[in-house]
Amino acid sequence: MKLLWTVFALLALPAWADEPLSGWAVYPTGKSYDELVSDTKSAVKANGLIVVTQAGPTKAAAARGITIPGNLVIGAFNNDYAVRVLETSVRAMIEAPIRFYVTENEDGTATLSYKTPSFVFAPYIYEGRDPLRDIAQELDDTFQIVAEAAVK
């Protein structure tokens, strides 16, 4: 019986792997990786945020002669949010900037995903209370607007 359950679990694994993780927003697109990276950066700027950081292994791997799918983390935030978050919880600022994640799929399309700001800041709500919860909700709305603009 144990072997049967193990086989069942292994067969079901690919279906589970396609499920988004808790607290994540995932936007598959028909866009290319380069197009989605550019559109995400533009949408960040157009919606009052700043691209604070960018990091990914793709270009560094290529410089070493290794080809991997496109993969870029784009950190977005602004000073207004930083000051407001700090007023509620100094510890919570370790989560800034909050990141968008652009990944290239096997078929040449790209996916935009991110952990929702309310999920990211959840561990600090005990300290920041309602003001931090309100900021996180504002950021949830802004990140959704950015994502929807980037993927359309």
pLDDT one-digit tens code per residue, 82-141? 999 999 999 999 999 999 999 999 999 999 999 999 999 999 999 999 999 999 999 999
Query: What kind of fold does domain 23-151 have according to CATH?
Result: TATA-Binding Protein (3.30.310)
Please tell me the predicted confidence (pLDDT) of residue 95.
Answer: 98
State the Cα–Cα distance between residues 72 and 114, nearest whole angstrom: 12
For residue 100, the model assigns a pLDDT of 98
Question: CA geometry: angle at 75 spanning 117 and 67, to 5°?
Answer: 125
Return d(Cα 126, Cα 58) in angstroms, integer.
38
- Three-class HEC string of 91-111: HHHHHCCEEEEEEECCCCCEE
All structural domains of the chain with their residue ranges: 23-151
